[in-house]
Amino acid sequence: MLKFDFSFMFEPNVKGGISEEEFSKLEPTMSQLVEEVARERPAFVKVLFDRNLLESVEDLREWILNFDNFVVIGIGGSSLGAAALANALKPFDWNYLSKSERGGYLRIFFLENVDPDYTASVLDRIDLKATVFNVVSKSGSTAECLAHYQIVRGLLEVRGLKVSEHVVFTTDPKKGLLRRIAEREKIVVLDIPPELGGRFSVLSPVGLLPAMAIGVDIKALVDGAKDAYTKCVVLDVWKNPAAMMAACHYLHKIKGRRISVMMPYSNRLYTLADWFRQLWAESLGKKYSLSGEVVHEGLTPIKALGVVDQHSQLQLYNEGPDDKTITFLEVEKFDKNVLIPSIHDDEEISYLGGKRLSDLLRSELFGTERSLAFNGRPSMRVIFPAIDAYNLGQFFMYYEFTTTLMGKLLKINPFDQPGVELGKQITYSLMGRKGFEKMEFPEPVRKVVIE
């Protein structure tokens, strides 16, 4: 199981950390909130126990494995989870390996941003005949996704390829444009449960289909999440990682630490920090409280990479404003061992000889953590015994549960995203979508521009 070290969130380990008294005052509330979430059984929990969803993905295995390339067309919650899985569980050169070197599994590409240079570079590289496109959109109306879908569809048609043989949709089971097109044109389609929000959907077909296509053990992923869930519902806060994470972040927020940095000491886990950023930002950044009061709540998530950002961000974290908590992601056992040879006898370099890169990485994590503690800056660690599907499944569950608890502590709804919707609607208006022509939005009265 994943391990969690909260030592440096607390006094006296870190000056200005959480005191025993502060924590014990919050404990009964935390247990009560855990009980509430367990009782409410949010959609991201239900999805784990819905065998049909997993089977619907498995049913496509044989068809999908006929292809060489898998392209995810989706944005935000419709792609970040799959991207985190691909980066964590597949080697960096995955897309450059031959199919046999990939064990028969597919290369993976993401058409997420509508950056013409990037999109063209992906579409120019792949052989369309050997490609399956997974168009993922809960609403079925997100502009970026629909633009990419049409570009791809146009290309397939120009090449004389049958769309329904190269496209699979993942969308709402009843509503939306993609569902209508799928029904009209007999396109294969997977369901996203109606009450499941994009950023909580990685363990539904949204993340599971791309994961299966690249050979991730999706059963292990789901099992990891289920096992983590059993710990998330433990009422004893000290034994419940999700409750501890929520309580610590909440108590530090009260002390003015509203920024949450996630700092993996692993390149493979870096995209996981992107997934976390979206989860935390969209779920907790809210204008209104549950009772309708204007509160402008939220904790700002930031990502950093250990050790690289020690040489970029750490100065600020140590000596700048005391407004952050840092969460390190530590890996106990890396897949590969790289030994540093002893080449020079000079004292500035000889100490490195004979050590492994992972020893250096770990010492740097330890050094960063202690330097922060020395400066009264709180931190915690999530410890991965290894990077595998089972441990990632746990990570997703712990963070989704923690986010839900944070929503309750902050008294906001973590499952909506009106701020995202507003941006989408203004885009529709600017791009001339019917029904949005008359939308009003602020324009600068006084322009301040340098050309």
Could you say which of 42, 76, 207, 378 contacts ligand PA5 (CB under 6 A)?
Answer: 76
Supply the angle between the helices 80-89 and 389-410 in degrees, to the nearest 10. Answer: 140
Whole-angstrom distance, CA of residue 192 vs CA of residue 174: 10
Residue type, 158: V
* Under rule CB under 6 A, residue 209 binds ligand PA5: no
Active site residue 282: yes
Query: Is 198 an interacting residue with respect to ligand PA5 (CB under 6 A)?
Result: yes
Q: Minimum distance from CB of 53 to ligand PA5 (Å)?
A: 16
In 262-415, alpha helices (H): 270-284, 314-319, 347-350, 357-374, 389-410
Residue closest to ligand PA5 (Cβ): 198
Does residue 424 carry a catalytic annotation? yes
Two tokens at 404? Answer: 């839900």
User: Which of 349, 333, 329 is closest to 341 using CA atoms?
Assistant: 349
Residues 119-148 that bind ligand PA5 (CB under 6 A): 137-139, 142, 145
Catalytic position from the list 311, 336, 434, 447: 311
Segment 77 to 96, residues that bind ligand PA5, using CB under 6 A = 77-78
What Rg do the C-alpha atoms of the chain give, in angstroms? 23
| 136 or 243: CB nearest ligand PA5 | 136
- Of the residues 144, 282, 297, 369, which is catalytic? 282
CA-CA-CA-CA torsion sign (154, 155, 157, 161): negative
Encoded one letter per residue, x for contact with ligand PA5 by CB under 6 A and - for no contact, window 151-170 reads --------------------
Site for ligand PA5 contains 306 (CB under 6 A): no
| Residue 172 vs 369, nearer CB to ligand PA5 | 172
State how far the Cα of 291 lies from the Cα of 288, in Å rounded to an integer: 8
Q: Are 264 and 23 in contact (CB under 8 A)?
A: no
> Site for ligand PA5 (CB under 6 A): which residue of 75, 202, 245, 406?
75
**Contact pattern for ligand PA5 over residues 38 through 57, marking x by CB under 6 A:** --------------------
Q: What token pair was written down for 289?
A: 């409280």
Q: Is residue 414 close enough to count as binding ligand PA5 by CB under 6 A?
A: no
E strands in 253-316 = 259-264, 286-288, 294-297, 300-303
DSSP tag of 214: T
Task: Compare residues 170 and 240 and give the one whose CB is closer to ligand PA5.
Answer: 170
State which residue, 137 or 403, has the beta carbon closest to ligand PA5: 137
CB 357 within 8 A of CB 340: yes
CB of 310 to ligand PA5, least distance (A): 31
283, 284, 288, 289 alpha-carbon torsion, rounded to 10°: 110
Q: Which of 299, 270, 272 is nearest to 283 (CA)?
A: 299
Residues 6+ apart with CB under 8 A from 80: 199, 202, 271, 274, 275, 278
CB of 436 vs ligand PA5, minimal distance in Å: 16
Measured distance CA(178)–CA(74) in Å, rounded: 12
Instruction: With CB under 6 A as the rule, give the number of residues binding ligand PA5.
Output: 15
Q: Does 197 bind ligand PA5 (CB under 6 A)?
A: yes
Minimum Å gap between C-beta 80 and ligand PA5 is 8
Least spacing, CB of residue 418 vs ligand PA5, in Å: 11
13 lies in the binding site for ligand PA5 (CB under 6 A): no
Rule CB under 6 A: say whether 420 interacts with ligand PA5.
Answer: yes
Q: Which tokens belong to 110?
A: 């993401």
3-state secondary structure (DSSP) of residue 207: helix
240 binds ligand PA5 (CB under 6 A): no
Nearer to ligand PA5, 138 or 268 (CB): 138
Nearer to ligand PA5, 114 or 220 (CB): 114
Contact flag: residue 407 with ligand PA5 (CB under 6 A): no
Q: Is 193 helix (H, G, I), strand (E, B) or coil?
A: coil
Residues forming the site for ligand PA5 (CB under 6 A): 75-78, 137-139, 142, 145, 197-199, 282, 417, 420
Residue numbers annotated as active site: 282, 311, 424
